[in-house]
Amino acid sequence: MFRLPIHKKGRPLRSQVVDLCPDFYSALLALLDQIPDDMVTVPVLLASAMGDPVAESAVKEALKREMFHSYRERVVPKPDSSDSHIFSGFRGKRLLEEMAGDQEERGKRVVITSLLERDGLIAGVDASYKGDTAYAACVVMNRDLEIVDSASTTIEARFPYIPGYLSFREAPGLLSAVSKVSGFDVLMVNGHGIAHPRRCGLASSVGLEVDKPTIGVARRPLVGEVGKIRGVLTPLIFDGLAVGAEVKRSEGPPIYVSVGHRIDLEIAGRITRETWRRGRLPEPLRSAHYEAQTAKRRDS
């Protein structure tokens, strides 16, 4: 499902990134075409037919688009007293179910290792959105947190935000921005790594594609519970395993770090602490976020 062709040097082919990603809207259109003229359906049934009820909100937002204007009368917010007019017999590919399976398979390929060769150049990558347009930026810093390289890119996203499926929306833009910088030793991604229901969040997806040590950093946990004995680095436990950690400073709210790929939690936590000087994100990610926002403002 989510397969991006890679250069021999480990960089994704930018021209093909978007084309190989799933098109949520075409899949939804195929379901809407199945509703008989004398029947209606509800968003949660459409989301379930796509493979995961968690997509209900995304379905509701999608139906506001002009491309779905002629279908709006076929979808009601909730069933009325007569369930006989509610259509649920959808057939065909369950897109989200396939995507979840793909995440589970990719999660098995994540490498957790303490053998980090270098960490002199730390990159951060993030994206900002205006509608379906993604403005992604990658910033590379040295150990003194001085910017030594940066790049940005703009692409159209064809997948909405759905909890647990962020990589299918955001990874293409991030990979495109990453492919434009000259190089780095470690990549920080504004999203989760293995601290994910299927052990393959945005940071792991990106890490697997670039095949470089990758750290996931997020403002809030997606899964798991923070350990009872808290400190500067407190494990985040999910299904009995430490899939991430809560990282705290002397003041302000914590952030949550997890392994993306080719790194371990201790090193990921150390690098995160060393590069977190102010605000809600470590400096490489804070700078990438700023550059992505700047690119969006320039396009306004």
* Longest Cα–Cα distance in the chain: 66
Domain residues of the chain, as ranges?
A: 24-93, 110-298
pTM for the full model? 0.91
Give per-residue pLDDT as tens, 160-187.
999 999 999 999 999 999 999 999 999 9
Model confidence at 206, pLDDT cuts 50, 70, 90, reads very high
Domains 24-93 and 110-298 fall in the same CATH topology: no
Q: Is the pLDDT of residue 19 over 70?
A: no
CATH class of the domain whose range is 110-298: alpha beta
Q: Is the pLDDT of residue 9 over 80?
A: no
**How high is the pLDDT of residue 12?**
41
- DSSP SS3 for 25: helix
**How high is the pLDDT of residue 83?**
59
Residue 250 amino acid letter:
S
User: Could you give the CA distance from residue 160 to residue 229 in angstroms, rounded to a whole number?
Assistant: 37
- Average pLDDT score over residue span 119-126: 97
Distance of CA 292 to the CA centre of its chain: 16
The two three-digit tokens of residue 289, written as one number = 């976020």
- Fold for 24-93, please state it: Arc Repressor Mutant, subunit A (1.10.10)
What residue has token string 């397969």?
3
**How high is the pLDDT of residue 85?**
87
- Average pLDDT score over residue span 222-246: 89
In 54-185, beta strands by DSSP E = 122-130, 133-141, 147-156
Sign of CA dihedral 31, 173, 215, 209: positive
